[in-house]
Amino acid sequence: MDFYDDLAPLYHLIFPDWSHSIRRQGEQLDSVIQSEWPGHRTVLDVSCGIGTQTLALAGRGYSIVGSDLSAREIERARREADLRGLAIDFKVADMRTAHEHHGTGYDLVISCDNSVPHLLTDEDLLLALRQFLACLRPGGGCVITVRDYDKEERGTNLVKQYGARVEDGKRYVLFQVWDFDGDHYDFSFFVVEDELATGLVKTHVMRSRYYAISVERLCELMREAGFEDVKRLDAAFYQPVLVGTKPVTG
């Protein structure tokens, strides 16, 4: 998608230290996975982006396929994997057709950091969740992490600060502006690039839309899609983690 294609070269700047976040998220996801589904090792990440969780889990010995709708993010994820000496199979794919693209038999399907709310209707979410289920072997697990929208203010002109980072002689200042429209919101992600030696400033702006779905509703949709033992884990990650298991029979 255009938003993430344009954001791909800048995406790591969202994090104060992307490498540190990769390591921390890897430890946290590994711990969730091994306590819910001990021994599960093959993973399909259906919204890997530039690879935050994919690189993390590959580095911890998981066998992982990373896919995403954004071709430029996948290009960058491939480069990041090469830089780290990690062998990862990356593909461009829409999570709503994950089963057609990736087949079945995975121990785990993951979609982290608020990716599924880019699907803007319950119908689309259900379609994607059924595809995740189809990609799993019986007994396989699904891990989804999302923003907790019950804790977010609704309104317009809402500014969300992401801070400032200095890299290669430039200071980048990052912030989003949100405008709610019912249960959805449009947002603009501004990245102001300030060249410190010359004072030359360039502003990047990327725009997209999210469905501010509640964690509770997403859990209901996971059950409706056919997952069992669906639950929300709150202290495991920096966002709520939703887990569900593909039934062994039925």
Ligand X SMILES: C[S@@+](CC[C@H](N)C(=O)[O-])C[C@H]1O[C@@H](n2cnc3c(N)ncnc32)[C@H](O)[C@@H]1O
Residues near ligand X (CB under 6 A) are 1, 4, 46-50, 52-53, 68-70, 73, 94-96, 112-115, 118
Distance of closest approach, residue 37 Cβ to ligand X, in angstroms: 20
Residue 124, exposed/middle/buried by CB under 10 A (0-12, 13-18, 19+)? middle
Pair 203, 190: CB distance under 8 Å: yes
Closest CB to ligand X among 84 and 194?
84
Q: Tell me the closest approach of the beta carbon of residue 168 to ligand X, in angstroms.
A: 21
Look up residue 221 and give its DSSP letter: H
- CB 233 to ligand X: min, Å: 17
- For 77-95, letters b (16+ CB in 10 Å) and e give bbebbeeeeeebebeebbb
Catalogue the E-assigned strands of 84-235: 89-92, 106-111, 136-145, 158-167, 170-181, 184-195, 201-211, 228-233
Please identify, using beta-carbon distances, which residue of 68 and 107 lies nearer to ligand X. Answer: 68
Shortest approach of ligand X to residue 39 CB, angstroms? 24
Shortest Å, Cβ 133 to ligand X: 16
Shortest separation between residue 196's beta carbon and ligand X, angstroms:
27
Q: Which CB atom, from 127 or from 164, has the smaller least distance to ligand X?
A: 127
Query: At 32, which amino acid appears?
Result: V
Read off the DSSP letter of residue 121: S
Closer of 111 and 245 to ligand X (Cβ): 111
Q: CB nearest ligand X: which residue?
A: 49
* Phi, psi (rounded to 5 degrees) for 128: -65, -45
The nearer residue to ligand X, 71 or 201, going by C-beta atoms, is: 71
Q: With respect to ligand X, which residue has the nearer C-beta, 127 or 173?
A: 127
The least CB distance from residue 146 to ligand X, in Å, is 10
**Planar angle of CA 221, 38, 147, nearest 5 degrees:** 35
- CA-based nearest residue to 203, from 17, 67, 6: 6
Neighbours of 170 (CB within 10 A): 18
Nearer to ligand X, 161 or 249 (CB): 161
